[in-house]
């Protein structure tokens, strides 16, 4: 029995649709809503920072889009369970707060073994967390296997420390800023008055006119022969 061509085409379409529907259901689905504005009071306690930090990780920070807590296996980014203890020992010379701050302000400066770079700088667009919101996230991360110590008065080298935001030294002041020494002209540089002087302009014009008149007189004298007869 031969199956008609239209029936075979219809069966192929149905089978293809069913296959891709099945594959689509296997992909984890995560709904991302617009971030809610969070008011940070100056007197927030550390436990309150932890609670707000977890909300930011789940929402505006999008941390849980790539990170996990308490999972193992083929993960895109490191699992955060117990991160507090690892952060204090990850890089010699960096405290847990400094390491966690570096991981967010400069995520590519240290890559955990077995993972690839790719985490965005979260204090810049498209995520754009504020310095205070990042302190909340650090407090939440400290709570994962440790005791949170962060407050809104906590400082680190990216926020309130010696370095400018982003870990870079502050840019030098403009050379023409008030109170700053002016750079000397390069050797061979042409010095010009900052404001054109009318007197100088008139002298230059008079000099050029005199030179042209003198040149015309010399040319006329040369054309005359001996005795004043023109050649």
**Can you tell me the distance from the alpha carbon of 180 to that of 151, in angstroms, rounded to the nearest whole number?**
38
Report the chain's terminal Cα–Cα distance, integer Å.
122
**Can you tell me the distance from the alpha carbon of 139 to that of 59, in angstroms, rounded to the nearest whole number?**
16
- Per-residue pLDDT reduced to its tens digit, 167-206: 344 444 444 444 444 444 333 333 334 334 444 445 445 5
- Per-residue pLDDT reduced to its tens digit, 138-175: 999 999 999 999 999 999 999 986 544 333 444 444 44
- Per-residue pLDDT reduced to its tens digit, 23-59: 777 666 656 566 667 789 999 999 999 999 999 999 9
Find out whether 111 and 117 touch, Cβ atoms under 8 Å.
yes
Between 194 and 80, the more confident residue is 80
Transcribe the chain into DSSP letters. -PPPHHHHHHHHHHHHHHHHHHHHHHS-----PPPPP----TT--HHHHHHHHHHHHHTTT-GGGT-BSS--SS-SS-B-TTHHHHHTTSSTT--HHHHHHHHHHSGGGS--TT-------TTSTTT---HHHHHHHHHHHHTSSS-----TT--BTTBBSSSPTTSPPPPPPPTTSTTSPPPPPPTTPPP--SS--HHHHHHHHHHHHHHHHHHHHHHHHHHB-GGG-B-
Residue 187: the pLDDT is 36
Q: Which residues of 26-52 are buried (b: 16+ CB within 10 A; e: fewer)?
A: eeeeeeeeebeeeeeeeebebebbbbb
Name the average pLDDT for the chain. Answer: 78
Model confidence band, residue 4 (pLDDT cutoffs 50, 70, 90):
confident
Distance of CA 138 to the CA centre of its chain: 20
Residue 73: the pLDDT is 82
Residue 24: the pLDDT is 76
The architecture in CATH of the region 34-169 reads Orthogonal Bundle (1.10)
Structural domain boundaries in the chain: 34-169, 198-223
Q: What is the mean pLDDT of residues 83-103?
A: 96
Q: Hey, what are 150's tokens?
A: 């962060």
**Can you tell me the distance from the alpha carbon of 31 to that of 2, in angstroms, rounded to the nearest whole number?**
47
Closest CA to 221 of 212, 209, 231: 231
């Amino acid at each position: 029995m031969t199956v008609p061509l239209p029936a075979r085409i219809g069966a192929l379409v149905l089978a293809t649709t069913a296959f891709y529907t099945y594959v689509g259901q296997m992909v984890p689905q995560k709904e991302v809503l617009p971030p809610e504005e969070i008011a940070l009071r100056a007197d927030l306690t550390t436990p309150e920072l932890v609670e707000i930090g977890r909300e930011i990780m789940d929402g505006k920070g999008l941390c849980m889009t790539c990170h996990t807590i308490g999972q193992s296996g083929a993960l895109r980014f490191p699992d955060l369970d117990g991160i507090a203890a690892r952060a204090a020992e990850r890089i010699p010379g960096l405290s847990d707060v400094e390491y966690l701050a570096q991981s967010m302000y400069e995520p590519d400066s240290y890559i955990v073994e077995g993972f690839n770079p790719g985490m965005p700088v979260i204090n810049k667009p498209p995520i754009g967390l504020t310095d205070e919101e990042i302190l909340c996230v650090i407090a939440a991360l400290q709570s994962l296997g440790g005791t949170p110590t962060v407050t809104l008065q906590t400082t680190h080298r990216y926020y309130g420390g010696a370095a400018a935001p982003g870990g870079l030294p502050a840019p030098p002041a403009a050379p023409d800023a008030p109170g700053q020494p002016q750079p000397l002209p390069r050797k061979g540089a042409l010095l010009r008055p900052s404001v054109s002087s009318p007197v100088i302009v008139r002298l230059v014009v008079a000099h050029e006119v005199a030179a042209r008149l003198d040149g015309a007189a010399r040319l006329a004298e040369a054309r005359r022969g001996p005795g004043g007869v023109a050649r």
